[in-house]
Amino acid sequence: AQKVTQAQTEISVVEKEDVTLDCVYETRDTTYYLFWYKQPPSGELVFLIRRNSFDEQNEISGRYSWNFQKSTSSFNFTITASQVVDSAVYFCALSNYETGGGNKLTFGTGTQLKVEL
């Protein structure tokens, strides 16, 4: 069975602080994909990143960076110099790819990030 755990339900920071959102996953598959999505107050889901299980290189995109560590089954997300516009719920997800059966996602429960002035 697949499982994604986001232990932090809510985080509050002051603008310009760095913040890390934790994600721990469980899977028996050797090939899998991990995702982060952002859900701003308007409610839509915005795709941020996809990583495959064979690529443990950290990735940076502007103020966003992701740390994938297979040894600890973690895929953490860091926002540097946070801004008020970063306030949102962030979801980590794991793909359950089945040949011919699609690619359904297993989501964590989300971390609500509040960035205050």
Partner 1 sequence: NAGVMQNPRHLVRRRGQEARLRCSPMKGHSHVYWYRQLPEEGLKFMVYLQKENIIDESGMPKERFSAEFPKEGPSILRIQQVVRGDSAAYFCASSRGQGATDTQYFGPGTRLTVL
The single residue listed with the structure tokens 């994938």 is 68
Q: Is 52 a binder of partner 1 (CB under 8 A)?
A: yes
Q: Is 37 a binder of partner 1 (CB under 8 A)?
A: yes
CB of 97 to partner 1, least distance (A): 4
Of 17-25, 37-45, 61-69, 70-78: span binding partner 1 (CB under 8 A) = 37-45
Q: Is 64 a binder of partner 1 (CB under 8 A)?
A: no
Q: Is 106 a binder of partner 1 (CB under 8 A)?
A: yes
Structure token digits, residue 16: 């310009």
d(CA 57, CA 67): 8
Q: Is 24 a binder of partner 1 (CB under 8 A)?
A: no
C-beta of 62 vs 101, nearer to partner 1:
101
Burial class (CB in 10 A: 0-12, 13-18, 19+), 111: buried
Q: Are strands 88-98 and 33-39 parallel, antiparallel or unpaired?
A: antiparallel
